[in-house]
Structures are given as C-alpha cells and as structure tokens.
Structure 1
C-alpha cells in the first residue's frame, strides 16, 4: 500500500513491454501442428509422403441432384473445371473424370490412351452416355471419382505447397472458391462443394479467426456485465477489467516475443485467461467491500483484505498454473501451448490483482456492501451451513453414492471423434464435407504403402497377386467405400493388351509382361498425369487408397489394426506394408495418445497441487482432504456426458488436469477461512463452517458463476475441441461448487468430530 503507485507504474511498464510482442504473434492452422515431431503417426505419414511426394489436395464435388443420372451439365462443368483448376496457385496436377486416361485396344497388340471426355460441348448425348457407362464400369472410378448413380463427380487438385508463407493456403482456397462461384453461375443446376486436406487446413484458419473475432469480445462483454451486476461496483468493475485485459495482453505478447505460435485449441487461451483472471480480483474486491461495510476506513479496509486473502489468492493462482502447465505432458503441441499461455496469464493476473486493484480502489470511489444487499445472502449461507452441520454423515454418504453412480456412467463415454464433426455447422467446410458424405458416401482417405522389398518388384506376379488379395479383403471391411490399388490397373492393361477381352481382366502371368504393359502405359500418359503419386520411383512399392464411409476414430483405429494383422498373420508374408496412414488416421490416434500422455501429467498435477495446499495451509491432512471434492467433479461431469452424449474427443484428455487447477480455488478459499475461524478465532467446528460460508461463500459463488459462464462462452466455439473443453469445464466448475458447499463442509465436520473423539478417548 505504501509503494502502490510505484509498483503500479512498474506493472504497467512491464505489461506494455510484454504487449509489444503482439505484433510478432502468428497463427499456424496446418493440421500437422497437432502432432509432435516424435509422434509415430506423423513420422509414418512423412515417410509415406517421401515415397509418393508430399502434397495436399483439394476436391471439387459437382452434384446434379435432379438429374436422372450422369448429365451433360456434369460432363461440361467437369471439363471446364478441370482446365480452370490449373490456374489455382500451386496446382501441380488435376485429376477428374474428364482427363481420366481411358485405355482400350487398337487391334491385338496396340494400346490407346486418351481422355475419357474431350470437347464435351460438341459431343452428342448418346456419346456422353456411352462414356459415362465406361466410367461406371471402371473399379478405379466408381465411388471414387463418380458416384454410383452418376449424379456426382469429383475433380481433384494436387497442391505441393512450398510452405514458405502462411498466405499460401488462403490464396489457393480463395481461387478455388472463385471457381466454385463461376461454375455455379454457368451451370445453375449443379451444386459445387470443396473438401480435401487444403480445405481442412483452411478450416482451422477460419475457425481460429472466427473464434478470435467473436469469443474474445463476447467474453470481455460477459465479464463486464457479470462483474458489474454481481459486485455492484463501478470501481471494482473497472479494476477487474483492467486486470483481465492486461493479463491477456501480457501472455499473448510474451508468446509473440519468444516465437510461440497460436494454433487450433491454443486460440482458446485468451478466452480462458479472460475468464480465470477475474477470480483473484473478485475475491479481493468482495473482501474490501465487506470491510467497508464494517466501518473500516478505506485504506485499512484494503490492507485488511490483502492480508486476509493474500495467502489464498497466491495459492489458488499457483494451483491453477500447475493444472495448466501439466498440459505440457500432452502429446499434442496445441495443448502444450494452451497450457503455457494460460499459466502465464494466470500468474500475470495474480500479480496485477495484488498491485493494480488496491491502487485503483484507493484512487476511485468505492461503496461498501450494504446490509440490504448482503444481509439476505449471509442469512441464507448461515442457514445453509446449519443444514449441512446437522447431517454431515448423510451428506457424505449421499455424495459418495452419487460419485459412484456417475463414475459408472462415465464408462459409457467412447473416445470416438468424427472427422466431419471437428467444425460447427455454421462453417462452409462442414456443410461441403457433409454433402460429400451424403453423395459420394466417403469422407476420409486411408492410405497404405505396400512394398515388395526390391526395385521393380511391383511387376512380380506374386506381389500383384497378394496386393490384389489385400484389395479384395479391404473392400469387404466395414466403412470401406472404395479401394484403389495398382493391381486393378494391371488387370485393365492386361485386358487391353488382349483385345479388350473381358476374360483377360486378370493379372499378367509374368514379370516381363507386367513391366512391358506398365512401361507402355506410362509412355502414353500426358504430362502431369503420370503414376508417380501411386508408384514408388524405383517401382518397389505401390500405394493403396481406401475411401472411408464417414468412419469414427474408433473405426479407423480398428481398421488400422486389422490391416496390420492381415499382413502379419494371414496371406501377405512376402509383402512389407507400411503403417496405415493419412490425416484421418493420424487424428484417430491423437486423442487416445493424449489420454495416455496426460495420465502422467494429471497425476503430477494432483501431487503438486496437493503439496502446494499442504504447504499453503500448513496441514498435510487438509491438503489431502482438499483433493477429494476436486477430483470428484470431473468424474460426475464425465458421467453426465456419458449419459447425455456418450462421445468424447481430444478435449477429454485434459479436463482432469485443467479443471483440477480451476476448481481447487474455491476449496482453498473455503478451507482457509475455516482454519482462520478455528485457529485465529477459536471457533468450534460448526461455527467455523458458518464463518467460512458467510465470509467467503458469496465470493465463491460469484467467481464460480463468472468462470462457468466464461467457459460456457468458449463452448460456442466453431471448433469442436474448444467447444467440448469449454462445456465440460463449465459443468465441472458448477458441480465443484455444489460439492464445496455440501460434501467439503461435511468432511470437515466429520474430521473435526473424529479428532475430538480421539482427544477425549
């Protein structure tokens, strides 16, 4: 208090200096940021791309909903789009039904390779129908490039981004969307949708931008309204908003200075910091107003509030920071960034609350809490404490039964993300992706590299036979819509080289024939449509692509395990399969890996939080006791989630650690006041419980409501992981307050009576 202005000035200088890093803050929306550099799935994907070239893709889906089958509009639009797609920045290849390299025999030993559709405007309707029938008979096309009913076709664009500038993906997406508008204007009967890894990456960027533009202002506005209404103090509101604003600026600014990038999930850090930074200031301001109501002079009221709350505020800030810092155990870098940024913001809020809030309260007018406004609350809390004091054992037993019941319900949850559900329905990407799922019955590509173990080995009949056996097996698996394997190409070429006799649609009999057919085919392909994306350069391996019918993460993990089992235990002992891979496969494992990795992080957080409370409260017993009502709420929250939803994703892995750091705040404040009543005021247990309720119960309810609403705002995020994190945390916080108001005082009373019984005995 004596040096408040000097300290406040220093704090402002520090925050302004830190805020200078905001200009250096960048956002990385590439889906690869979800995976650490040592993540085995990322390593497998990198090895796969090294063999078949590293690239992203972009899919145009053309759909003629009202056509009876393949229409002239689809043929013309596909050809036009195939030509124009080359103008998309970074495009290196365009594949479609138009430039599909149709092969057929010219005589008995000649092979003709040509575009399936060419100059469609001058084609007759009969010729268009004839060409469409060819496409619908071709296994590599149907359910892959053209739907079974012929009313939808796909145009695929390959984009090997140099990754030198963050604007590369937005540039490509902007050009693609311009083409969509152009095609839809020219062919009004068609619907055109965009998907692919490029659009997936761009969706992360757009979700981050949307959240930063909406959630941060909305959270700030909600905090303003709640603090103003609940504190009923203009001065207190100004001080609180200044603290949460500077805390957020400090955390993000320091991130900019040290080169930490914002990324999906981590973009929620500002919203969380804005929410958590409120608690310290509210507890302090609530105590000051109460002291003023007891007729203390302003300076003494502030000093007394600091003295009585300093230990609890410091301890709660430390435990909250510990909870979020434990996210650095996560297998996913965005969670690690979220934890680090939030911890920085929480510590900044602690420092600013203790320095800026007292200085501002001294400077600005501050009305005491009047009896008319607080009397009813104190009477209610006092009456409630009496209710708890009369039946602690019953409350403890009921609380235990509720925990066991919801713990059983929590087992109903399945760690089962769906690729299509990562983004909200309000996003264009989600709408386009679901249209593709409805029309082509496919949303994900599952890749497997199958190696022969030797150069030119893919022409070996044994290799082709086993590759074909794997493709046939894969087509029989649940959720597999289409399989594209090189063995299908080899069969078609063998048929072509036997005068298009359907009886020869089978694999070549010798390595020499297979090699000759492949060479002849490759020499006939136009520039940009070679097989380098399907076959290794030394022809030692080929790529098998499985199109999946909207699978869950669990479906993808099971298929991956089944594929590896098939190669290792059944038919293909001579083949060398790589790890099944692809973005959807990688994401199917990341939440499971996160759960495993965060087990250690959560366990360490529990130990460190418990030790911090023991030291802060100077009691091993109360440190251990405080953990019980804070480990239980996440269990009940997951039980509710299992009953109502039953499906959890990446956010679930961190709820235990983050919620522990948050919900322990109320427990610490309550126990600290209880011990103050016991140790300093010499009150008996029941009176000490009533003392804690009346002294800190209102502040606990206020901060809990504010923090819960803040996380509820995060639940409106268009990104599902952030939304689940916000909603589950809000539910956990509310449950924790209920337990702190019921089970915690019951446990304190049971423990106190047991101590008395032992002493008397």
Structure 2
C-alpha cells in the first residue's frame, strides 16, 4: 500500500511540476510546438495506391497461388465495357459497325494486350482440308441482312461467347480489354488506362448515342479503390467543422475552441510528416487517418479544458492555478487513455491486411503527438490567451442544471445498484449471444455502396450479361504437350460439364471447348465431330493449325502455358457471398481430386476468392492481437488504478460494449467484413477513455476526500460526467461522418464503432458505478490525501 502511495504522490508531483514548467515557459513551449509541427509537415507527402493487391500481404497463400497462375498465362487485368443498344438488338448493321469501331479503338488503350468482342471473335470454318479462322463480323458496314442474321445465329450458339461476351437474347454485349500493367507504379499506370478508357467511352457515346455503356473489370476496381481514398480524405473538412462547433457549444469558450483546434491540426500535420518519412502509400482503409486522429485527439483536450473551466467556475481558482490543477487531475488519465488507444491501434499489425497495418501505425503515431500537444501546447496557449471574467461567468450559467442532471443520474444508480447490475448483465448476455450469429462476407463489389459508379455498373453487368466473380484452375497434364492427350482432354471435358451442372455457374472457359470446336471444323463442321479428337497426334496437328491461323493478340496464351503442359479453366459464377464462394472453389478442387489423375489436381484461385478468404484470415490473425491488446490494456489499467480488484473489474465496461455492438449489428445486418475485424482492438483502446476517467475520479474521491462508495460515485458524475458526454459527442460526430463513406470497409467499421461508443457511455454511466458501489468497502479511507495545490 505504501508503494501505491508513493506512485500516487510521485504522479501528482510530476503533473504539478509539468504544469508549472509549461506555464512558466509558455512562449518557448508554443514556439517549439509550432517549429516541430512545421518540421514534420515539410516531410509530409501523400501518395495513393489503388491496386487491390495491397490488401494482401506478401505471404498470403491465396495471393501467391494467384500470382503463380498469372505467371503461367497472360495476366488478366482488364476493362470490361458493356454495351446496351437502346433497340435491344446488338445484331443490326449500325450496331455492329459501332462495336467494330470501338473494338479497333480499344487496341490503343495503354498497355493493352488483347481485345475480345463479338466482331473479332475468331470463328472457325473448314473448306476441304483447309481451316479458316476469321473475325466473326469484319467490315460490318457491307454486311447484308442475311449475313447479319447468320452472324447472330453463330454468336448465340457459341459457348465461348454466350453469357460472357453476349447475353442469351442478343440485347447486351461486351468489349473486354486485357491490359498488362508493368507494375512499376500503379498510381500512374491505372489512372493512365482509365483516363484513356473514359475519354474513349465519351467519344463513342457522342458518335453512337444509341448505346448505354457500363464499365467494370479489375482496372476500374483499382480506380474505385483510389477514388474512394480521395473521397474519404475529403471527410476531414466536414469533421473539422463539427469539432469546432461541438467544442464551442460545450465549452462556450472561443479560447478553448481555438486551442483544441490547434492541437488537432498540429497532430494531423505531424502525422502527415510521419506518413512521408515512412514512405507509406495511402489506401482506402488508411486514408481515413486524418478523420480518426481529428476525432480521437479532441478527447484529451476536452478533459483538460473542462476541468480547468470547472475549477475556475466552481472553486474560484485563477487561470494558472486552474490549469495546474486540471493537469494534476487529468495528466495520468489522459496519458493512460492515450496509451491504451495507441496499444489498440498497434494491434492491427497482428492482422493479415497491410492497409490496416498502416492505419494502425499512423493513428498510433498521431495519438502520441496528440497527447504531447494536449499536455504542452494546449496549456501553454491557454496560459497566453486572455481569459476574461465575463467569459467565465457565461461558461458557468448552465453549470447548475448540468450538475443537477448528473447528480440525479448518480442517485438513480446509487439507489438501485443490484437491480441495475442484474438488468445490465441480462441485456449484455443476450446481445453477446446474438453477436455469435454474425457471419463473414467479403464480396469486393459490396465494398462500395450503390452511389459509386463502379458498383452500379457492375451490378448492371451481373444482372444483364455475365458474372464478375470467377474461380480459376490451372489443370496440369504432367508432361510437355500433354494437353493434346485425349485422356487429358476427356477429363477436362468432364470437369467442364460438371461445372455447368453447378447452380452457381454462368460460364466456363476451358481448352476442351476449343479442342471440340476445332475438331468439328476440321470435319466439315459436322456436329457429330463436336467432341474430343480421338488421337494425340490429331489433336496436336489441329491445335498447331489453329494457332497459326490466329491473328496477333488473339492467341491462346491466356488459356494454355508455353510448353502446353497445363491449361486454364475460368469459371464465371453468380455473385456469391464469401462462404459460398469458398465452398464452391473447394467443390471444384474435390471433384478434380476424386475424378482425375494427380497431375490434374488444382486449387481454385481468383481475386474474389482471395477477398472471400481474407476476412477469415484476418479474424484468425487478429484474435491473437485482440488477446494481446486485452492483456496489455488490463495491465495498464491495474497499474494506473493501483488496485488489482478494480483493474479486473474495469474489463467489464471495456469489453461489454464491443459484445453489445456486435450483438446489435447481428440484428441490423448480421454480416461483417474485413474492416470490422479490427474493431475489437481499436475500440477497446478508445472506450477505455470513459472507464479510466470515471474510475480515476471515483478513486480520487475515495482516497483524497475519504468518501464512501455512494458519495464517490456522485462525485465522479459531477466532476467528469459532462466531459465524458462531450468527448462521446465528438467521437460520435467523427465516426458518424466516417460512416457516410462510400467504401464499406470504412463505413461498416465506423457504423459499428458508433454503436459501441454509445453502449460504452451507457455502461459507464449505469453498470460501472453500480459495480463500484457493490464491490467497494463501505468504510471511508483511513487517511485523507491533501491535494498539492497552488505552487507557482
């Protein structure tokens, strides 16, 4: 116990000396803060990375498998342009001419390696022993109605086209542009491609107004990520205005509002310098750091300012004494809450999503700077700024009503602690059970709300032409040239047929279809020969003849590897949620294991599959991080409160709000994504703020004034209640702004954090004081601790 007293005394003495030093050297402190901010700000740079690959760590096994598949074949970064003629008939002379023109122009897209459309589809036909491979519709302006009808008949019967390039009714078609990005700087390469495509689309629609165009693909996806980052950065301005208004309304002091604004701006500018020094490229999750820092940094300043104003109003202290007393009362709680917030955000490094590593590290640094500025710049500035008596009196006008409200709430809790505890635990238990009903779903299309053009266009494409999700298998033969083996082709054909029988499948692109089509053409287009060639030599000769007939850029490198030992099967599926996508890919893998030789066994890969597994992988890795965060924060609280029993007790109001939040989310949506996995560790660090400040005031009343538990609870409500409500309002404002993000990883995370923050305040105002009354001894403290005041 003596050791605890020494810690308590030393902490108080340190805070007092700190306050004296800051006030005495206020101008030096302010100038140093400004110089530090400018020095850090000059290092600040903001570079963005919109490539979807940034969501996956280098050790991510799904990414490794996907990259390995792309190394064998051509990369499939693409832009899909879907054309919907207003007459709902693609097959007219005017429409085919327009599609042919767009196809030709699409070859000029930067880094383009292939363009697929109905007009340039390589249609095979045979005359005697000769195989002819031609564009399905070339020189469309000269086609007669009969020729156009023939083109329509061929296209709508062609498995390689239907539900991939053309829909079954012939009313919607697509032009798919494959690009090979160098990968040196996606921040330049992707915008270069999209800039050209958007200009090309605008010119096309001006020349051919009979078409509506919708755009999707991996390059537009990367662009949507990039633009989401920029848009979310813009939320900072809105939040800044809210902070200014909220702080002024709650403190009624221009000086306090200005000082708070300066602290948060200094914190953000310094953090920008950190981003530049560390060379961090911003992504949609990490680009929200200014809004987060702006929201969280306000809390430290509010607690110091509210106590200062209260001491001036209630105790009649002058400005300097009130500042020092405020620092004495708040320095340790502010330090602890800053430390726990930093710990919470740093636990994001345990996850498997690099953008959240960046977000955690950036915000952790920003909160460190916010603590530094709020305990130096803020008191120095308040010591410098004139503080008129009249302003103090205005601040105090509502004091009585505020005090009565918080006193009334405290007496409600004091009168019924056991009943409140039982009711609270009942509700928390019920919502904790509901929280287990949430399921993961990481469809990357749903990362964007419907106001985003990429999302609305992709939804249209899914409903009217083809799916945007796929699973790919690289099916090996075990030997060079083995894809021409009839046994291999037959098994591949069986796999293709099995896939088409699956209810999720829209289209299958497999080499077995090419082999059947060539075999038919080499036998006079006789439908009886629409099957796998009977001999390996025959299949090899047909394939060679076919490849020699293909024009540049439309070869089979996207389907077969260089030594013809493996072929690529691309399965286009409906929009599936994450568990169903994972289950479908596994079914395909299992079918290959059970029905084909070992050489043909393959694993399913694709960006959608990577995202589907990302949430589960993130949850598994963050579980360790959350345990570490819980242990560290618990240890910090035990040391800070200098009471093991109350340190353990504090876990309840810190953990319960998270469980309540996810329980309420289960009633609202019942699906969580990768962005929500980080919420436990992140909010644990944030909501500790309320618990620490309430319990520190409760313990101070017990130790310094000798109050019993009931009176100590009342004292805590009166001294810190308004500050907790104020900081909660600011936190709610910040995360409410962030919840308007069009990027679901951010908006969902912010939305559930809103619920958790509200739950935290309610629990800290009802359950926490009730528990403190129940577990605390009724007798007063043996000795009163005299505050160390007035020390200039």
Scaled by the length of structure 2, the TM-score of the pair is 0.93
CA distance in 2, matches of 1:305, 1:383: 25
Q: Quote the offset at 1:365 in angstroms.
A: 2.9
Residue of structure 2 equivalent to 1:312: 333
Residue of structure 2 equivalent to 1:604: 628
| Structure 1 portions without partners, runs of 5+ | 757-761
Deviation by residue 1:367-412 (Cα, 9 ceiling, x = unmatched): 3364431111111111111110111111111111111211222233
Match of 1:488, SS? helix
1:275 aligns with 2:295: yes
Residue of structure 2 equivalent to 1:759: none
Q: Quote the offset at 1:573 in angstroms.
A: 2.9
Residue of structure 1 equivalent to 2:15: none
Selected match of 1:20 from 25, 42, 46: 42
1:555 aligns with 2:580: yes
CA distance in 2, matches of 1:754, 1:484: 77
Query: For the Cα contact (< 8 Å) 1:27–1:263, is it kept in 2?
Result: yes
1:392 aligns with 2:417: yes
CA distance in 2, matches of 1:440, 1:704: 48
Query: For the Cα contact (< 8 Å) 1:42–1:586, is it kept in 2?
Result: yes
Identify the range of structure 1 (627-636 vs 68-77) with the bigger mean alpha-carbon deviation.
Answer: 68-77
Selected match of 1:328 from 349, 357, 361: 349
Query: For the Cα contact (< 8 Å) 1:480–1:547, is it kept in 2?
Result: yes
Query: For the Cα contact (< 8 Å) 1:207–1:719, is it kept in 2?
Result: yes
Residue of structure 2 equivalent to 1:721: 745
Label 1:371 to 1:10 Cα distance change in 2 as closer, same or farther (>3 A).
closer
Identify the range of structure 1 (111-120 vs 53-62) with the bigger mean alpha-carbon deviation.
Answer: 53-62
CA distance in 2, matches of 1:596, 1:73: 55
Label 1:754 to 1:288 Cα distance change in 2 as closer, same or farther (>3 A).
closer
CA distance in 2, matches of 1:222, 1:329: 33
Q: Quote the offset at 1:718 in angstroms.
A: 1.4
Residue of structure 2 equivalent to 1:675: 699
| Structure 2 portions without partners, runs of 5+ | 1-22, 781-792
CA distance in 2, matches of 1:462, 1:450: 13
Residue of structure 2 equivalent to 1:620: 644
1:348 aligns with 2:372: no
CA distance in 1, matches of 2:247, 2:611: 40
Residue of structure 1 equivalent to 2:153: 133
Residue of structure 1 equivalent to 2:562: 537
Deviation by residue 1:593-612 (Cα, 9 ceiling, x = unmatched): 11111000011000000011
CA distance in 2, matches of 1:303, 1:630: 30
Selected match of 2:463 from 425, 438, 451: 438
Residue of structure 2 equivalent to 1:750: 774
Deviation by residue 1:228-252 (Cα, 9 ceiling, x = unmatched): 1112111111111111111111112
Identify the range of structure 1 (704-713 vs 577-586) with the bigger mean alpha-carbon deviation.
Answer: 577-586
Q: How many residues align?
A: 752
Q: Quote the offset at 1:730 in angstroms.
A: 1.2
Selected match of 2:67 from 39, 43, 46: 46
CA distance in 1, matches of 2:567, 2:283: 34
Residue of structure 1 equivalent to 2:138: 118
Q: Quote the offset at 1:328 in angstroms.
A: 0.5
Match of 1:745, SS? helix
Query: For the Cα contact (< 8 Å) 2:49–2:281, is it kept in 1?
Result: yes
Scaled by the length of structure 1, the TM-score of the pair is 0.97
Match of 1:381, SS? helix
Selected match of 1:262 from 282, 292, 300: 282
Residue of structure 2 equivalent to 1:145: 165
1:527 aligns with 2:548: no
Selected match of 2:613 from 589, 601, 608: 589
Identify the range of structure 1 (554-563 vs 314-323) with the bigger mean alpha-carbon deviation.
Answer: 554-563
CA distance in 2, matches of 1:129, 1:722: 50
1:505 aligns with 2:530: yes
1:738 aligns with 2:762: yes
Selected match of 1:635 from 654, 659, 676: 659
Identify the range of structure 1 (323-332 vs 55-64) with the bigger mean alpha-carbon deviation.
Answer: 55-64
Query: For the Cα contact (< 8 Å) 2:469–2:608, is it kept in 1?
Result: yes
Deviation by residue 1:502-528 (Cα, 9 ceiling, x = unmatched): 011000111111111100000000111
Selected match of 2:474 from 438, 449, 459: 449
Label 1:598 to 1:609 Cα distance change in 2 as closer, same or farther (>3 A).
same
Q: Quote the offset at 1:33 in angstroms.
A: 0.3
Q: Quote the offset at 1:754 in angstroms.
A: 8.5
Q: Quote the offset at 1:74 in angstroms.
A: 3.3
Residue of structure 2 equivalent to 1:516: 541
Residue of structure 2 equivalent to 1:57: 78
Residue of structure 2 equivalent to 1:103: 124
Which stretches of structure 1, 4 residues or more, deviate above 6 A after TM superposition?
A: none
1:197 aligns with 2:218: yes
Match of 1:16, SS? helix
Identify the range of structure 1 (31-40 vs 427-436) with the bigger mean alpha-carbon deviation.
Answer: 427-436
CA distance in 2, matches of 1:466, 1:632: 55
Q: Quote the offset at 1:456 in angstroms.
A: 0.5
Q: Quote the offset at 1:69 in angstroms.
A: 6.1
Residue of structure 2 equivalent to 1:462: 487
1:11 aligns with 2:33: yes
Match of 2:568, SS? strand
1:565 aligns with 2:565: no
CA distance in 2, matches of 1:580, 1:354: 55
Match of 1:526, SS? coil
Query: For the Cα contact (< 8 Å) 2:26–2:384, is it kept in 1?
Result: no
RMSD of equivalent CA atoms: 1.4
CA distance in 2, matches of 1:71, 1:400: 69
Query: For the Cα contact (< 8 Å) 1:55–1:161, is it kept in 2?
Result: no
**Aligned ranges for residues 362-381 of structure 1 at < 5 Å?**
362-366=383-387, 367-368=391-392, 370-381=395-406
Q: Quote the offset at 1:287 in angstroms.
A: 0.5
Query: For the Cα contact (< 8 Å) 1:567–1:575, is it kept in 2?
Result: no
CA distance in 2, matches of 1:46, 1:286: 55
Q: Quote the offset at 1:564 in angstroms.
A: 1.7
Selected match of 1:406 from 417, 427, 431: 431
Q: Quote the offset at 1:68 in angstroms.
A: 5.0
CA distance in 1, matches of 2:146, 2:251: 77
Deviation by residue 1:311-350 (Cα, 9 ceiling, x = unmatched): 0000000000000000000100001000000000111000
Q: Quote the offset at 1:277 in angstroms.
A: 0.5
Label 1:277 to 1:130 Cα distance change in 2 as closer, same or farther (>3 A).
same
Query: For the Cα contact (< 8 Å) 1:419–1:552, is it kept in 2?
Result: no
Q: Quote the offset at 1:577 in angstroms.
A: 3.5
1:419 aligns with 2:440: no
Selected match of 2:256 from 236, 239, 250: 236
Query: For the Cα contact (< 8 Å) 1:291–1:368, is it kept in 2?
Result: no
CA distance in 1, matches of 2:714, 2:64: 59
Selected match of 1:176 from 193, 197, 202: 197
Q: Quote the offset at 1:180 in angstroms.
A: 1.2
Residue of structure 1 equivalent to 2:3: none
